[in-house]
Amino acid sequence: MKNNKNKNYILPSLMMMVIVTLIAMTFFQPSKNLTLTEFYKLAEDYEITEVNLTHSNNVIDVEGVFVKDKQKAGFTTRISKVDELLIRDMLIEKNPKISIANVVDQGNFLVDLLMLIVPYAILGGIMFFILSKAGGGGNNKAFEFSKSRAKVQGNVKVRFDDVAGAEEEKEEIKEIIDYLKAPKKFEEMGARIPKGVLLVGPPGTGKTLLARAAAGEADVPYYSISGSDFVEMFVGVGASRVRDMFKKAKETAPCIIFIDEIDAVGRQRGAGMGGGNDEREQTLNQLLVEMDGIEDNSGVVIIAATNRDDVLDPALLRPGRFDRKITVGLPDVKGRTAILGVHARNKFLAKDVTLENIARRTPGFSGADLENVLNEAAILAVRDNKKEIDMVHLDEAIDRVIMGPAKKSKKYSEKERYMVAVHEAGHTIVGLKLESADMVQKVTIIPRGDAGGYNLMTPREETFTQSKSDLLGKITGYLGGRVAEEIVFDEISTGAYGDIQSATKIARAMVMSYGMSNLGPIQYENSSGNVFLGRDYSNSQTYSGEIAFEIDKEVRRIIDEAKDDATKLITEHRDLLDRIVEGLLEHETLTSEQIQNIVENRTALENAVDVEVKEETV
């Protein structure tokens, strides 16, 4: 980077040297320019040895050499033609041996004009170069401010084989690819291919990768730009960039335009306190006009991505603009296994590592999260000077992605350590003995992030929807740690803060959104508030104060019943709770195999895989 910066200064430095040289040649001439009076005095005081008389239209330029202190020096002056004979006689009288030469000035108007213009042209070139670099880079050139910032990529290498866990989404995109390859087939059938495709889904699910793979499969130019690249502080710049981008795209059709984070420019117009943003709204208006201006089956397809489709302007989503909406959701077990297989291509995994086992332990992970897990595991393997990635590294990598690195340097007092072990054992008991609760995969009392301990629990079976009993089981599981503290210590701590928060959120959603309470199938939560004023700022309450009181009563009832269930389970299995606490205090981390050994009244390490977390340098 430093060498590139130095190269940028070479050309301006050379040009400045030329300017300085020209100035020096102009103002620091070796000959002395004299007035007529000074010339007469010079002729009287010194011996002039050579004179050249250059005849122009009305004047004569006199150039000569005189001797001063035994050294020769030059002079120049200008006289009229009337004084030529007088000057000749005076010079010959002073020095009879003087050499007088007559030169006829041919004159060249073009040369004189060039000599006048060239210095100014060079100076203007330097100023243009400085102004063009004033923005600090090619994307900020002063004279390209309103040009499109879209990056054009040809011969895209990404293919659908590189996109895993999104089979249905790829099927929807394949129609676009078929059209870009063979548009006549659709025209003959009278079909109009969608002008725009909107990819909606959580962050990290592969929306951008899917768009790039579509360009790679169709083998067409790929224009990529972020929605924020359109919006500037000057009104009209964004609209100009939209026009320029679509103009270039039409010239290279068939092609794909990909707009990432389109919600940055496509938000609803006129929303918010004090009106909208003029620049953003003009940019959106121009985008709508340009999409309407694309003729049917013209070969230009716009693909946009966002995770906030709820804030997009309705005019952007109507048929004829973004005709098709594809939801790219979080992958299931099969999808996660396929995604891990893609990202494991350049990784060296141990023979006992199975990608399906990792996929089952990572519910709710996006494609980006899974890639991060494998990358973290590879880093840990390098740290341990291993040639392969084994389950120890993958196990630690999953914990790192979820909760952060283990804080080995953070020391508990014995009382705190015992209380954390009891708390985590309480969650474990509920997961083991309640059929509707999540399964326990791992429990540890090693601090991670803001948590003093950590309990990895996964659903027994991944389903598309959740029943009332599933939600009640989750609430009971969350309250298991708090209940265990009350039973063992007859005391409670702040360690259950996050658990209580999650349990209350689920209970309130059951009452207000899902209709899973004695209030019946009525939705009391109004989600139509203005997102630009804050999620809850403008929400209007659509129920009376009496109903609000009933809602609070139902939330409390759900929480109390779940707490009673947790208390009953932990009280009935107090001996198992004590054995799990003892195992945690001894080993700090227990896997599902080790917990099962304890349940069967065996030692934790009997017939179980050793997954002891290695010490880390802090």
Secondary structure percentages of the chain, helix, strand, coil, to 5: 50, 15, 35
What's the CA gap between 323 and 326, in Å, rounded?
A: 10
In the structure encoding, which two tokens stand for residue 151, read together?
A: 């990056």
Alpha-carbon separation of residue 86 from 67, 92, 93, 97, 164 (angstroms):
22, 10, 11, 17, 102
What's the CA gap between 251 and 276, in Å, rounded?
A: 34
In the structure encoding, which two tokens stand for residue 113, read together?
A: 């004009």
Asked if residue 254 lies in contact with residue 214, where contact means CB atoms within 8 angstroms, the answer is: no
What's the CA gap between 286 and 153, in Å, rounded?
A: 24
Sort 253 into a burial class: Cβ within 10 Å, 0-12 / 13-18 / 19+: middle
| DSSP characters over 67-106 | EETTEEEEEEEEEEGGGHHHHHHHHHHH-TT-EEEEEE--
What value does the CA radius of gyration of the chain take, rounded to a whole number of Å? 41
Beta bridge partners of 99: 50
What's the CA gap between 229 and 108, in Å, rounded?
A: 54
Closest C-alpha among 296, 303, 295, 262 to residue 280: 262
What's the CA gap between 75 and 39, in Å, rounded?
A: 9
Which residues 6+ apart lie within 8 Å of 11 measured at CB? 129
Active-site residue, from 279, 424, 554, 588: 424
What's the CA gap between 518 and 272, in Å, rounded?
A: 37
What's the CA gap between 129 and 548, in Å, rounded?
A: 68
Q: Quickly list H helices, 490-544.
A: 497-512
Please confirm, yes or no, whether 424 is among the known catalytic residues: yes
Asked if residue 237 lies in contact with residue 196, where contact means CB atoms within 8 angstroms, the answer is: no
Q: Is 4 helix (H, G, I), strand (E, B) or coil?
A: helix
Q: Which residues are tagged catalytic?
A: 424
